[in-house]
Amino acid sequence: MAGMEGLYAKLQEVRQREEELAQLLADPEVVSDRQRFAELMREYSKVGEIVEVAGRLEELRERLARDRRELEEVEEEELRDFLSEEISRAEAEIAELEQKLQRLLLPHDPDDDRNVILEIRAGAGGEEAALFAADLMRMYLRFAERQGWEAEVLDLEETGLKGVKSATILIKGRGAYGMLRFESGVHRVQRIPETESSGRIHTSTATVAVLPEVEDVEVEIDEKELRIDTFRASGAGGQHVNKTSSAVRITHLPTGIVVSCQQERSQHQNRERALQILKAKLYQMEQERKRSELDQMRRSQVGTGERSEKIRTYNFPQNRVTDHRINFTTYNLQEFLDGELDEHLEALRAYEQTRRLAELMGEKSGG
């Protein structure tokens, strides 16, 4: 009951906001401000969708109650069958619209629409960990391709056996961060390494960090707080980069954050890329600080982004992928590594939506 009361209270707020927006959009001053007008129109469109869904739900509930009353009164078998079918259809549509309404009522995180800077690093397990990191890198690149997003490798440090010590990828696509934000953490693989002659299963790890890309105006960096070093690039940069000190390493002195980039041919380009990564890290650090201050006790297992969390296991002998945060398992490991992540990501998003909705309803009911 408390949850439903919270839902109704939230709907009342939305209806009031719709009226406020309608008045604002009729204000000549707002109309003349193109940017503000466009922002308010987007909000008005979203609010209007919520009100429309809520109105449809009310209609269906009234019709359902009426059909149930009529079903109790009629005796004609053909009419009873018809009413039973109508009731079943209404119940199914109500359930679907309730889920949609719950999703629409969740506060939107503006970071969800951002591009992603994704970092992959080999963890425990030596060369096998580096090979697994290479698998993860390919997995995310394939997933981005399947989504129709652009992916660009900003920095890459490889091993001699085609493994990856570390990789930084920029993924450009609307909603990329919202889709990939739950990938942060420790990924574990269980398989027989190619270099293992005895056929024993080894366990190795790689870490993934997912950062929202930020604009220059959102993060200010004092050049005096940076130490910038240049060095010769190695690996896949080609002969040109090995002849000059084109690679760049930037240390942010106040925080100790170190970023590097060596993929571009010029030192200037590598410097800009490294600054881009640094800004994303500083932005995320500030966002996490704010969230912690607001409510440190309510941090959820999904979405904290702690690298110490073992979030997923890739078990080759069993062809199994298991997400430990929501106890979700599928048996399509090869397809998963080929970028078919949708089922897992949707399960994570559904779990997070349920958690956030319960939190929202608890707040509205005074709990």
pLDDT at 108 over 80: no
Better-scored residue on pLDDT, 353 or 365: 353
Highest mean pLDDT among 118-122, 175-179, 249-253, 298-302: 118-122
Q: What are phi and psi of 8, to 5 degrees?
A: -65, -40
* pLDDT at res. 291: 63
* pLDDT at res. 334: 95
Half-sphere exposure of 102 (CA within 13 A, CB side): 20
Give the residue-averaged pLDDT of 35-63: 87
pLDDT at 311 over 80: yes
Q: Among 44-58, 219-233, 332-346, which is the least confidently predicted range?
A: 219-233
pLDDT at 116 over 60: yes
* pLDDT at res. 243: 55
* pLDDT at res. 103: 74
Under 8 Å between Cβ of 30 and 36: yes
* pLDDT at res. 349: 85
What is the three-class DSSP state of 258?
strand
Under 8 Å between Cβ of 237 and 245: no
What is the three-class DSSP state of 340?
coil
The tens digit of pLDDT for each residue in 274-304 reads: 888 888 888 888 777 766 654 443 344 344 3
Give the residue-averaged pLDDT of 309-332: 92
Q: What are phi and psi of 236, to 5 degrees?
A: -85, 20
pTM for this entry: 0.63
Q: Which residues contact 1 (CB under 8 A, 6 or more apart)?
A: none
Q: How far apart are CA 337 and CA 328, in angstroms?
A: 16
Residues of the chain with pLDDT > 90, as a percent, come to 35
* pLDDT at res. 293: 57
Please provide the average confidence, as pLDDT, over all residues in the chain.
82
Sign of the Cα torsion 55, 60, 61, 62 reads positive
H helix and E strand count, the chain: 10, 11
Give the residue-averaged pLDDT of 148-165: 89
Domain spans of the chain?
A: 2-105, 110-294+303-354
Q: Return the CATH fold of 110-294+303-354.
A: Alpha-Beta Plaits (3.30.70)
* pLDDT at res. 236: 47
Give the residue-averaged pLDDT of 141-157: 92
Q: How far apart are CA 304 and CA 180, in angstroms?
A: 13
* pLDDT at res. 112: 82
pLDDT at 271 over 50: yes
The tens digit of pLDDT for each residue in 165-207 reads: 999 999 998 889 989 989 999 999 999 887 666 678 889 999 9
